Amino acid sequence: MLLVLDMGNTNITLGVFEGARLLLQSRLATDRKKMEDQYAVELMDLFRLYKLEAAAFSGAILSSVVPPLNHVLCSAVQKVTGLTPLLVGPGTKTGINIRIDNPATLGADLLVGAVAAVERVGYPCIVWDLGTATTVTVVDKEGALRGGAILPGVTTALNSLTEHTSLLPHISVDAPATVIGANTNACLQSGAVFGTAATIDGMNARIMEELGYTAPVIITGGLGREIAPCCRSEVTYVSELLLDGLRLIYEKNKK
Contacts of 99 (CB under 8 A, 6+ apart): 144, 145, 146, 147
Where in the sequence numbering do the catalytic residues fall?
A: 109
Q: Give the bridge partners for 18, in sequence order.
A: 21
Domains of the chain, residue spans: 2-87, 97-246
Summarize pLDDT for 194-252 with one digit per residue, the tens. 999 999 999 999 999 999 999 999 999 888 999 999 999 999 999 999 999 999 999 99
Coil, strand or helix at 50: coil
Coil, strand or helix at 234: coil
**pLDDT at residue 165 is higher than 80:** no
CA 62 – CA 48 distance, rounded (Å): 21
What is each CA distance from 94 to 174, 185, 208, 218, 228, in whole angstroms?
Answer: 35, 43, 24, 19, 27
**pLDDT at residue 12 is higher than 90:** yes
Q: For the domain 97-246, what is the CATH code?
A: 3.30.420.40
**pLDDT at residue 119 is higher than 70:** yes
Q: Check residue 238 and report its DSSP letter.
A: -
CA 14 – CA 223 distance, rounded (Å): 17
Q: How confident is the model at residue 255 (pLDDT cuts 50, 70, 90)?
A: low
CA 172 – CA 116 distance, rounded (Å): 29
**pLDDT at residue 166 is higher than 70:** no
Closest CA to 218 of 108, 112, 67: 112
Summarize pLDDT for 50-77 with one digit per residue, the tens. 999 988 999 999 999 999 999 999 999 9
CATH T-level assignment (fold) for domain 2-87 = Nucleotidyltransferase; domain 5 (3.30.420)
**pLDDT at residue 162 is higher than 80:** no
Q: Check residue 43 and report its DSSP letter.
A: H
